[in-house]
Amino acid sequence: MYSLNKALSAFDCAVLRQRSENTYELVHNNFPWIFELFNTSTSEASFNFPSRSLFLDDFIEQAKELWETSLDDQLNSGIWTEQLNKDLELHLEAIAINSKDEKLLVLHNQEQQFIQRQTTLQSARELVIANEVLQEQHIHVRRQFEKILLESRSLGDKIEALSDVIDHAQFGVLILDASMRPLLQNPAIFDLFDLPYEPSSTNVFNTLSDLARKQYPEFERVLSVRENWQGELLWMQPPFNTKWLKVTLYVIGDSDPDTYHWCLFVTDISRLKHLQQHNETLALHDPLTQLPNRQFFWRCLERFCANPDVFYVLYIDVNHFKQVNEAFGHKEGDRLLRELANRLKNTLKKKDVIARVGGDEFAIILSDINEPEHCQKIADRMQKNAHDVFTTEGDERYYISLSIGAVSYPNDGKNPETLMKYADLAAYKAKSDENQAVELYSSELTQRSSQRLTLESALRDAVKNDEFELMLQPILNLTSNRVVKAEALIRWNHPERGIIMPGEFIPLAEQTGLIVKIGKWVIEKGLALIQSIQSSGFRIKLSINLSPRQIRDPGLLSFVEKQLEKTDIDPSLLEFELTEGTIVSDYDTVSKLLNLFRQKGISVAIDDFGTGYSSLSYLKKLPIDDLKIDRSFVKDLASDDNDKAIVLAVLAMAKQLQLDVTAEGVEDSSQQQFLNEHDCELGQGYLFSQPVTFDNFISYLRTKN
């Protein structure tokens, strides 16, 4: 006991042993506060409950439950604050111990731990709250912007309404038109840069744009593909001024120059940065994943670039992260990032560096690697680990995938800016190609990126110059061989290159938002074709494709309604095709929209069925009329048993759900025979007709119907 007491004297604690139900004797003590707590004189060696502490009295009841068991165990109360009198505030922790029939209660003064925890959490929580408030203000102002900008009123009226909103904003706001010319700026944004307020000046935007290009190598790409973006910029105006600015870039509206705008929100976060610097851990670490943050990673990258040794940089983006947040909540999104951070970390060597550099983005330095194959192997391993199932707290299972871009030093770039820019470009390429989850950077990517810009500019002209054509591909009833439907397919008649297929320009149109305008053209033209088909004496339904971006366009429904009204076309002659990916990407919006289509009498088909997500629950919930089996399953139908099984399963499921089925890509009679034998009602493909012009379509109709 002597040695135990000696050991305990190193701790700021008292140990009590239970003598009877409410009486405890003092086994060890070297501090006077215990007597205050029990309101007894210092000569007492035993204490009775209740004490002066409501918390301790409550805890002792839980302790008694532990002591009633025969388990060698202990129970910890957690820290509580006890205000014993005006001048005496204690931060305590109680531990109940059951050990070899000894019922012990340890009271531990946690003053130091309390101060340490409070100091750390004070900064951390102030940061979290300040960020939350900031986000809230951004969302609030942004929603007002969207409402105003997308309303159909004159630009002058819009500017007046926007001015009312931004004059009250507590942060800098800059609205630019589609050509990045300042349309509106509030005085606060000039204050941030200590500039006089000049509403039409481009100084602020030029400064911000320069800073962003230098400090975020991916910024240029962000602008070219019109993504929303957020970053922290360091602005220095020697000798006295240094500010940290949080910049958020939103794209509002789509391709229409009247409604399409850039909005920049700029907030001075120097105070938050100062708070972070109070605590080095917070300044260089991401509190969510416990990984180093972007600043730390940048420092490491600079250090690595100072040496000649070869290394690789990986830029990792979580695909469909937004969906996890939407489906399971932000808490689960946070859990995913923590779990993923661990999985990624486990694939690395001790010398490698991993950091969380953005919301759902990670960056890695792979040291001591010379060969691209080696880098590819590690990236594949990461991809494989990420593919393992994730489970929510509620035991729901889901899967994710990653887009990984890789770049090598010094081959691809010699400084951090170039390396990060190229790694981001490669990751972006990986994201756009679902089959290529890891993309190693090559100079081709930069070339392609510049070609893309040229194509984008030509596509903008194409919209203006009406360079598109609509072809029709018949869809036949496989039993009667009569044409019952047609799919409208767009072609771009480029003045120099000739016909460009949709595969080449639709993804670009989707990324840039031009799809909304092109999509409207298709709907307008498609309805005109239905009219012309009717005038030719046929009643044929026309199927038109809708992309994810069109679905998100709040003006889509009213546009379709107006066009139907204008042409006086029976809505049952119109069908929209969506891919599974579109449905899953924004289920709530899609669900609302499809229900409204259904109410109008417009039918809906799922395109490329079988190639997207495996969750089929939406088939039951959504108003869907037709499944279009993807051509990849039809291609080898006669010879591939797996394809046969898939097609038969789709047909059986569709029958259960009372949906029509169209087989896409029917190219030979053996495929048709198989489909006929298994009651697949509709087919489309070169066996019947390739996509043709309106006149040829009418001729085809005349021979078939």
Partner 1 sequence: MIAKKVCLLGPTGVGKTSLVKRFVEGIFSEKYLTTIGVKIDKKTVTIDDTEIQLMLWDMEGTDRYCGFQTRYLRGAAAYIIVVDQTRAQTLIEGMEIHKLVKEECDIPSLLVVNKSDLDASWHWTADELDHYKRHFNATAMTSAKTGENVETMFNDLASLAFGSTQE
Check if the beta carbon of residue 544 is closer than 8 Å to that of residue 512: no
Residue 170 beta carbon to partner 1: minimum distance, rounded to whole angstroms: 10
Q: What is the DSSP letter of 571?
A: G
- The amino acid present at 189, given as its one-letter code, is I
Q: Which is nearer to partner 1, 118 or 572 (by Cβ)?
A: 118
Task: Note the helical H segments in 357-513.
Answer: 372-387, 416-432, 443-465, 502-512
How far is 671 from 476, CA to CA, in rounded Å? 14
Residue 460 beta carbon to partner 1: minimum distance, rounded to whole angstroms: 34
Q: Which is nearer to partner 1, 127 or 540 (by Cβ)?
A: 127
How far is 680 from 131, CA to CA, in rounded Å? 55
- Classified as helix, coil or strand, 147 is helix
Q: Which is nearer to partner 1, 54 or 648 (by Cβ)?
A: 54
Residue 132 beta carbon to partner 1: minimum distance, rounded to whole angstroms: 5
- The amino acid present at 234, given as its one-letter code, is L
- Classified as helix, coil or strand, 573 is helix
Residue 249 beta carbon to partner 1: minimum distance, rounded to whole angstroms: 21
Q: Which is nearer to partner 1, 190 or 328 (by Cβ)?
A: 328
Check if the beta carbon of residue 212 is closer than 8 Å to that of residue 230: no
Q: Which is nearer to partner 1, 4 or 71 (by Cβ)?
A: 71
Residue 551 beta carbon to partner 1: minimum distance, rounded to whole angstroms: 22
| HEC assignment per residue over 256-300 | CCCCCEEEEEEEECHHHHHHHHHCHHHHHECCCCCCECHHHHHHH
Q: Which is nearer to partner 1, 89 or 309 (by Cβ)?
A: 89
Q: Which of 578-589 are b and which e, b meaning 16 or more Cβ less than 10 Å from the residue's Cβ?
A: bbbbbbbbbbeb
Check if the beta carbon of residue 606 is closer than 8 Å to that of residue 577: yes
Q: Which is nearer to partner 1, 331 or 566 (by Cβ)?
A: 331
Residue 129 beta carbon to partner 1: minimum distance, rounded to whole angstroms: 4
Q: Which is nearer to partner 1, 234 or 252 (by Cβ)?
A: 252
Q: Which is nearer to partner 1, 231 or 333 (by Cβ)?
A: 333
Residue 51 beta carbon to partner 1: minimum distance, rounded to whole angstroms: 12
Residue 80 beta carbon to partner 1: minimum distance, rounded to whole angstroms: 4
**Backbone φ, ψ for residue 73 (5° rounding):** -150, 175
Check if the beta carbon of residue 341 is closer than 8 Å to that of residue 362: yes
How far is 419 from 217, CA to CA, in rounded Å? 9
Q: What is the DSSP letter of 624?
A: -
How far is 302 from 294, CA to CA, in rounded Å? 12
Q: Which is nearer to partner 1, 80 or 315 (by Cβ)?
A: 80
Structure token pair of residue 486: 């047609």
Binding site for partner 1 (CB under 8 A): 54-55, 58, 61-62, 78-81, 83, 91, 114, 117-118, 121-122, 124-126, 128-129, 132-133, 136-137, 139-140, 143, 287-288, 329-331, 334
Q: How many CA atoms lie within 13 A of 537 on its CB side?
A: 5
> Residue 397: beta bridge partners?
391
Residue 120 beta carbon to partner 1: minimum distance, rounded to whole angstroms: 9
Structure token pair of residue 234: 């360091």
Residue 131 beta carbon to partner 1: minimum distance, rounded to whole angstroms: 10
How far is 646 from 609, CA to CA, in rounded Å? 11
Residue 185 beta carbon to partner 1: minimum distance, rounded to whole angstroms: 22
How far is 320 from 329, CA to CA, in rounded Å? 14
Q: Which is nearer to partner 1, 71 or 133 (by Cβ)?
A: 133
Structure token pair of residue 297: 């990673």
